[in-house]
């Protein structure tokens, strides 16, 4: 377990890194790995190659605060159990304090990209709506952020939420201070944004948005025009494209790289099988999201079965960390099933 950022009992931002050692039941500082950019909720993403990427999102210096070294994305690599180094990538001029980032996997190049949306400067001003994306498949100091297609709306977003959907699109909501704020959907294949239904409430500070096993999105938390206890449910476009496929059977537990059987009466119409990491959100931040598309075959002996291969990636399994996932099957229209919970070990 790696611990980064936060602040101490005196409300001073921390820039050290520690790793938890099970053998000694203690936290050990990582030498050579001091952050140059203290951050309260740093936007960190564990990449498939065991590299940790910092997106500049969070609640620290990610918004143009001097010095310039505190405003750069970086990636961290271990060179030993308790030794590692940070390397910067090309800087961005967009304010990302209180922004949101997600990691997008694909089975074709570029395999790993990171999308960043919204943010402000360290004082809470300088709000933006710009979205940037970076190819994190092979990082180097020359790696650079590129703007996505412009967002169709002009609303400035600070403390917005973003959720990876089971079809690997990205749903963005909240972060706009007025009610009926527009929601957006990002397609990582076309790099294009589409406007979605407006969010009835203004959701910003302490807002929470998560993907549910039924494929819908739940949003709650801070709202300026309603009690904080309200919950709103969003139905993505894929729920209006026809009948949903179903999963009739799936194992409760699988091992890394294991072949397993998924039963579905809709087997001949299934185009994709995905595993989605469940979410845990604070201050609209959740950087552990991942949608993993699995390799599968149609079982011609048992036509209602799919033979699916679980993710591996090799130790330490940074591509798909051990734990619970939501297993979805999607048909050729892109409609997902209701998920089955599965434990990867």
Read off the pLDDT of each residue in 72-86 and give the average, rounded to a whole number: 86
The pLDDT confidence band at residue 275, using thresholds 50, 70 and 90, is very high
pLDDT at 114: 95
| Two structure tokens written together for 121 | 């400067």
Whether residue 75 has pLDDT greater than 50: yes
Residue 229 lies in a domain: no
Residue 103 lies in a domain: no
Q: Per residue in 220-233, pLDDT tens?
A: 987 665 555 789 99
pLDDT at 243: 97
Q: Pick from 172, 327, 214: which is nearest to 262 by CA? A: 327
Number of domains in the chain: 1
3-class secondary-structure state, position 168: coil
Percent of the chain whose pLDDT exceeds 90: 51
3-class secondary-structure state, position 78: strand
> Using CA atoms, how far apart are residues 101 and 118, in angstroms rounded to an integer?
9
Q: Which of 60-69, 110-119, 130-139, 156-165 has the lowest mean pLDDT?
A: 60-69
| Two structure tokens written together for 289 | 């999201």
Residue 304 lies in a domain: yes
| β-pairing verdict for 340-344 and 253-254 | parallel
Chain center to CA of 214: 19
Q: Per residue in 305-320, pLDDT tens?
A: 999 999 997 888 899 9
State the burial class of residue 299 (Cβ atoms within 10 Å of its Cβ: 0-12, 13-18, 19+): middle
> Using CA atoms, how far apart are residues 243 and 216, in angstroms rounded to an integer?
15
pLDDT at 37: 62
Read off the pLDDT of each residue in 154-170 and give the average, rounded to a whole number: 91
120-124 CB contacts, 8 Å cutoff, 24+ apart = 120/63, 120/95, 120/158, 121/63, 121/64, 121/65, 121/95, 121/97, 122/60, 122/61, 122/62, 122/63, 122/64, 122/65, 122/97, 123/63, 124/98, 124/158
pLDDT at 228: 59
Residue 291 lies in a domain: yes
Residue 201 lies in a domain: no
Residue 70 lies in a domain: no
pLDDT at 124: 78
Residue 332 is part of a domain; what is its CATH number? Answer: 2.60.40.10
Residue 59 lies in a domain: no
pLDDT at 248: 98
Residue 185 lies in a domain: no
Whether residue 252 has pLDDT greater than 90: yes
- The rounded mean pLDDT for the chain is 88
> Using CA atoms, how far apart are residues 280 and 208, in angstroms rounded to an integer?
9
User: Residue 320: which domain range?
Assistant: 242-344
């Amino acid at each position: 377990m790696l611990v980064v950022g936060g602040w101490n009992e005196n409300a001073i931002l921390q820039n050290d890194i520690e790793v938890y050692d099970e053998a000694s039941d203690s936290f050990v500082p990582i030498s050579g790995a001091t952050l140059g950019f203290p951050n309260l909720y740093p936007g960190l993403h564990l990449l498939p190659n065991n590299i940790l990427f910092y997106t500049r999102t969070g609640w620290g210096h990610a918004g143009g605060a001097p010095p310039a070294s505190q405003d750069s994305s970086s990636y961290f690599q271990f060179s030993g159990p308790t030794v590692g180094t940070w390397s910067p990538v090309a800087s961005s001029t967009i304010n990302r304090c209180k922004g949101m980032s997600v990691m997008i996997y694909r089975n074709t190049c570029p395999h790993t990209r990171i999308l960043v949306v919204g943010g402000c400067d360290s004082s809470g001003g300088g709000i933006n709506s710009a979205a940037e994306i970076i190819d994190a498949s092979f990082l180097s100091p020359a790696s650079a952020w590129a703007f996505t297609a412009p967002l169709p709306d002009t609303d400035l977003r600070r403390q917005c939420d973003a959720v990876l959907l089971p079809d690997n699109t990205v749903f963005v909501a909240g972060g706009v201070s007025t009610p009926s704020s527009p929601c957006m959907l990002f397609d990582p294949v076309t790099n294009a944004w589409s406007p979605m239904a407006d969010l009835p409430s203004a959701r910003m500070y302490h807002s929470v948005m998560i993907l549910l096993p039924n494929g819908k999105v739940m949003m709650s938390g801070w709202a300026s025009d309603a009690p904080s206890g309200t919950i709103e449910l969003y139905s993505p476009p894929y729920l209006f494209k026809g009948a949903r496929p179903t999963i009739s059977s799936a194992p409760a537990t699988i091992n890394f790289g294991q072949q397993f059987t998924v039963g579905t009466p809709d087997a001949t119409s299934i185009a994709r099988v995905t595993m989605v990491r469940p979410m845990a959100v604070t201050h609209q931040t959740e950087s552990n999201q991942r949608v993993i598309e699995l390799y599968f075959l149609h079982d011609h002996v048992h036509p209602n079965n799919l033979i699916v291969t679980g993710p591996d990636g090799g130790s330490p399994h940074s591509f798909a960390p051990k734990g619970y996932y939501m297993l979805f099957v999607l048909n050729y229209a892109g409609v997902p099933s209701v998920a089955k919970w599965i434990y990867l070990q």
